[in-house]
Amino acid sequence: MVQHIGIDLGTSTIKISYGDEKYLIPSLIGEPNPGWGGGVGDKSLENNMILIDGSEKWYVGELARLQSEVRRSLASDGQMKSAEETFIAIKAALGLIINEEDEEIVIATGVPVATSIEVMKNLSKMLKGTLEINIENDATKEKKNISINIKKTLVMPEPYGTYYSVLKEKGADEAVDTVLIDIGHGSTDILTMYQGRPMRTASGSLREAIDTLTNRMAKALQEKTGAIIKPFDLMMVVKKQRDTVMIGGQTYSIEDLKGHYTKQISKVIIDEVLRLISSLPPDAFIEYYIICGGGAYTLGNAIKDAIIEGKLVSSPENVIIPEDPVLSNAKGFEMISMSQ
Ligand SMILES: Nc1ncnc2c1ncn2[C@@H]1O[C@H](COP(=O)(O)OP(=O)(O)O)[C@@H](O)[C@H]1O
Ligand SMILES: [Mg+2]
């Protein structure tokens, strides 16, 4: 039986959808930092992955985030930097989810919209044929060697997964013109689907995303308190949808600050959407606006309101935020791989 896997390569997190199994893996690889393993913490393979590639070893995902001194994020400036490094992370992810020897696999994967065609092509070339995967669990030292046979890999722009899953769920099988706004951590991707195809001139990517919010909040809080605040630490505050932060033992309200920057960033995103769709041919009619990515939790409603107020849609119901905006791309890619 052929296995179907959906992978969404985000700027901060790789999402994997494989039947009932869903994984969120930080988009990081790092150099091994031996001697720090063996604690009493989480011993799951997911959080302790080492990929062994010939004489080289890489920490992948959460292990790289927590233990590697030298680590690299797979994406920067809203695009996947290199096919080779992305390949390392995907191999580890496949080693994590596949348990049977010689399994046949079809993969559909999405990359940020700004990723070069070159990187996309290389990635689909690498992810083909027989792969020998060797991984190790850093906590238990258990090794897993597996050989898989990849029949086909499709590499597409990230938000296409959500387009597919949302339209399928709606039962709309005809290609309806749709604008997807995927608010990630390091970039916001805008994908315009016109007559069932991605339209390059009306699609694009912008740097304003959730890390813009955490960077600006960190700066403002730093000025206010004099303490050094790392934007990264504020990511959890955003994720947990907190309205206060604790700095130096004191609690500060961030409600106004967050509200202020949320509004500003939403405006920038909407302006870019308007600019991009102005290049559409006059016969285009955008039926749906779909807002996805983890940023939809924070910025989704502000952007939705702006789209409705700007009368970009005929009815408010046509602005959609999927039920699980973080996993909607990966789920869609899994469905696409099944359709192959
Ligand atoms: N449930 C949630 N509530 C609020 N924010 C979230 C939630 N899940 C993820 N986020 C935040 O949304 C941002 C974008 O996440 P994601 O779409 O996974 O980014 P990317 O695809 O660029 O890796 C991240 O900063 C993340 O912390
Ligand atoms: Mg994303």
Of the pLDDT bands very low, low, confident and very high (cuts 50, 70, 90), residue 37 is: low
Q: Is 86 in the pocket of ligand 1 (CB under 6 A)?
A: no
Task: Report the residue count for the chain.
Answer: 340
Q: Is 332 in the pocket of ligand 1 (CB under 6 A)?
A: no
3-state helix/strand/coil string of 71-116: EEECEECCEECCHHHHHHHHHHHHHHHCCCCCEEEEEEEEECCCCC
pLDDT attached to residue 93: 95
Of the pLDDT bands very low, low, confident and very high (cuts 50, 70, 90), residue 78 is: confident
- Residue 76 pairs in a beta bridge with 79
List Cβ neighbours of 137 (8 Å cut-off, separation of 6 or more): 43, 45, 48, 49, 50, 143, 144
pTM, to two decimals: 0.93
Q: What is the mean pLDDT of residues 241-263?
A: 93
CA-CA distance, 176 to 160, in Å (whole number)? 13
pLDDT attached to residue 236: 84
Q: Which atom of ligand 1 is nearest to the CA of 211?
A: 25
Q: Which residue type sits at 204? A: G
Q: Pick 49 or 175 by higher pLDDT.
A: 49
CB 46 within 8 A of CB 62: yes
Q: Which residue has the tokens 């696409």?
A: 336
CA-CA distance, 221 to 24, in Å (whole number)? 29
Q: What is the mean pLDDT of residues 152-156?
A: 96
Q: What is the mean pLDDT of residues 215-224?
A: 95
pLDDT attached to residue 39: 64
Query: For the chain, what percent of residues have pLDDT higher than 70?
Result: 98
Question: Which ligand lies nearest the alpha carbon of 211?
Answer: 1
As given in the structure block, the two tokens for residue 215 are 């960077």
Residue in 181, 233, 184 with CA at minimum distance from that of residue 209 = 184
Does the pLDDT at position 224 exceed 70? Answer: yes
Q: What is the CA radius of gyration of the chain?
A: 21
CA-CA distance, 254 to 96, in Å (whole number)? 39
**For 262-286, how does the pLDDT look when each residue is reduced to its tens digit (9 = 90+)?**
999 999 999 999 999 999 999 889 9
Does the pLDDT at position 287 exceed 90? Answer: yes
Does the pLDDT at position 40 exceed 80? Answer: no
Residue in 14, 151, 17 with CA at minimum distance from that of residue 97 = 17
Does the pLDDT at position 151 exceed 80? Answer: yes
Q: Which residue type sits at 181? A: I
Q: What is the mean pLDDT of the chain?
A: 93
Does the pLDDT at position 230 exceed 90? Answer: no
Of the pLDDT bands very low, low, confident and very high (cuts 50, 70, 90), residue 35 is: confident
Classify residue 171 by its DSSP letter: T
Q: Is 214 in the pocket of ligand 1 (CB under 6 A)?
A: no
Does the pLDDT at position 140 exceed 80? Answer: yes
Does the pLDDT at position 36 exceed 70? Answer: no
CA 134, chain centre distance (Å): 25
Atom 5 of ligand 1, residue of closest alpha carbon: 239
Does the pLDDT at position 329 exceed 90? Answer: yes
Does the pLDDT at position 233 exceed 90? Answer: no
Domains of the chain from N-terminus onward: 2-157 (3.30.420.40), 172-323 (3.30.420.40)
As given in the structure block, the two tokens for residue 8 are 């969404």
CA of 46 to the centre of ligand 1 (A): 19
Question: Which ligand lies nearest the alpha carbon of 187?
Answer: 1
For residue 200, report the phi and psi dihedrals to the nearest 5 degrees: -60, -45
pLDDT attached to residue 34: 80
